[in-house]
Amino acid sequence: MRIEPLGLEGAYLIRPQIFPDSRGVFLEIFNQPDFEETIGHPLEVAQVNCSSSRLGTVRGLHGVAIPPGQARYATCVRGAIIDIVVDTRIGSPTFGDHVPVRLDDERREALYLAEGLVHGFAPLGDEATVVYLCSSIYSPAASFQINPFDPALSLPWPQHGEPILSDKDRAAPTLRQALDLGMLPTYAECLALGEARRLRAGGGSREALR
């Protein structure tokens, strides 16, 4: 598989090699050695989630405060979605920037997001199913939402009539409001989590490896 950085630090697109035959297809959704070689630390998995969404649904934008923080590894196993990643790390050079990524059940690509990168997704067809691996378990107290229709973000959601949102997502603050409320992690805090994982894996610090 190929693991390619996106336009935000800590966001990567994973392109698997697909092996088709008369029975169907086979692929590796995740490969720990390849992941660790590129990212610099192993993927720690504490919870695996699966969601199914119908056309018109927008899920997100969702994040987890530090502590504990949460990295995510997501793929679309049925249908197609647009997944939009937003940098909410205070002090990041790309704070407030976003990257849209298409995930579908043909190319079978996956998306890895380090802590501090929030995301949301919407189906591009009648129905889509998404599976995502999380580095920490669900914590209601640490979870936060950013309004997916924050006009300052101007995210490219598909237009299918009135969007279907959860009550929490509909009432979520804008990015600016979340910043003023002290909800967002800092860039330094997020980088420190990745550094700690590298040290636990015996890979040494980034500075030592340069």
Distance CA 41, CA 204 (A): 10
Q: Can 62 be counted among the known catalytic residues? A: yes
Peptide bond into 67 cis (omega under 30): yes
User: 17-23 long-range CB contacts below 8 Å, 24 or more apart?
Assistant: 18/107, 18/108
Q: Which of 41, 62, 98, 119 is catalytic?
A: 62
Q: Are 12 and 38 in contact (CB under 8 A)?
A: yes
Q: Which of 73, 112, 132, 187 is catalytic?
A: 132
Tracing tokens 């199913």 back to the chain, one arrives at 129
Tracing tokens 């949301």 back to the chain, one arrives at 120
For β-strands 80-87 and 143-145, DSSP reports them as: unpaired
In angstroms, the Cα distances linking 11 to 5, 98, 159 are 6, 11, 25
Q: Can 138 be counted among the known catalytic residues? A: no
Helix ranges, 41-140 (H): none
The H or E element that residue 3 is part of is strand 2-5
Active site residues: 62, 132
